[in-house]
Structure 1
Amino acid sequence: GLLLAMHYTADTNLAFSSVAHMCRDVQFGWLIRNLHANGASFFFICIYLHIGRGIYYGSYLNKETWNIGVILLLTLMATAFVGYVLPWGQMSFWGATVITNLFSAIPYIGQTLVEWAWGGFSVDNPTLTRFFALHFLLPFAIVGLTLVHLTFLHDTGSNNPTGVPSDCDKIPFHPYYTVKDILGFALMISLLVSLALFSPNLLGDPENFTPANPLVTPPHIKPEWYFLFAYAILRSIPNKLGGVLALAASILVLFLMPLLHTSKLRSMTFRPISQILFWALVANVL
């Protein structure tokens, strides 16, 4: 991201061509960009697996760790959204227009809020400039929150698949866990590199190869795959405010997880009915 920022120009007239220039004229610019774009997808795969694992094994009972994790997810989603706008293709522009416009559904202050976010009366140069600033800034906020996340986790220690204390079975993190984790890293990195080298545009929208044009709306406005579950919820409700509330609720519901836990068992390992509901949720999201 840092290397991309060195070559990127946050201006509506230059953004699209600066990205094209990067892919054509910068040493390995194409590779850096493809790893950055697809790296985001892999990050979301890891995050969703991590959240699913947390729900399955009752990790949400570490309340502080869990709540900071949800805040991390929200920050990450904001970062990915503002980043998607930067290449200033058709889907970037219209995605920004549609999603920022949702704030106008907020009663009384909505319209003022949207115009304040846009820096004008439509998505334009001021919007692009501030989105670039935010896309640069927010990852540092994510790093900071991650440290807080780990600090709270360190306070209680992590959970295990059975959901019972395992203090007597603890082993040194290094070399055991470090070696175990390297396998996962190697697997993910090889998959990421394969995707970035063999079909880098597989997950992207072809519409984004067209420079942004405020006068032409793309036939299908849709986000990247990792936001589709939220966007589907938004679009499935005919009322604007209702859709916005449902979209927000689809993520904020994670805050309720610690309050909704009534079982005497922490983990779902020995709860087959909860397992059925859990896998139904997974299938539904997919």
Structure 2
Amino acid sequence: PEEQEELLQLFRNAPGDFKNLILGHYGRLPVGWPDEWVYKSTFGDEWQEKIKERKETSPLEAIPDENLDILRKQLETELGRPATEEEFILYLMHPKDAIDFIKFREKYGDAPLVLPTKVWREGLKKPGDKVEFEYEGKPYCIELVSIGAESDGVIHVVLKVNNKTRVFEVRTPKAKKEEIRKAVRPNEIGAPISGTVWRIGNPKRGALNPGDIVHKGEEIANLESMKMENPIIAPFDAQIVEICVKLNQRVEEGQLLFVLQPIETTKIEEPEVKIENLPH
């Protein structure tokens, strides 16, 4: 009797999740239902009534099937671009958190993962401060050279990245919002997705400049988005009239990248030679 009484006290203060578990609210237990004394311990005098409430079917059977095409479209509308399989699976499990996470990753990339927490949170504060880290198997060193004064809401920051000096433009809330030009005409090339311009030109020719001639099918730029390369291809033979973006610039889908002038190809006709005009 003492042992029995001790067992009956075992689950007297069991949490709600445990009660839901043995009542089948999360589905039937793989090894079957527990012995009656577990219900007596958990629910006291009401244990028999509670057993009657026990569900034999899985709650998953009552959930209607989702239309995955509609859900994918919802995600891509939210992101403003096609979603990867990884992003879509994450969205199916945690819809709101997934969107926040993806947008955070688009904005900051892998910086929170590779930078020391102190540098990520506080940055490099004074000239000479530096941080060293490894990214995709390659070592990097970033050193702060100078921070310029604010002018019209823009601050120029000079950094040394692996001993190469680079200037970055930082726009504060006071900066005037620049109007984003969109590609609307047939001779205007727009960004197919949102991303970062990491190359203007191609490995074979190098950098391209206004006035250069490009040929149909030739890569004229490359956008990086979610660690994937997205080449921009010339749709026809043309001369570059204007390059509307800079290296490392963040662009959005549809933003104007190039203005091209199609090259007219005219067929040169051979002069017709008549037999009667030939000398005898």
TM-score interval, smaller chain = under 0.3
TM-score normalised by structure 1 residue count:
0.21
Larger helix fraction of residues: 1
More strand by share: 2
Greater C-alpha radius of gyration: 2
| TM-score, normalised relative to structure 2 | 0.21
Higher relative contact order at CA 8 Å, sep ≥6: structure 1 or structure 2?
A: 1
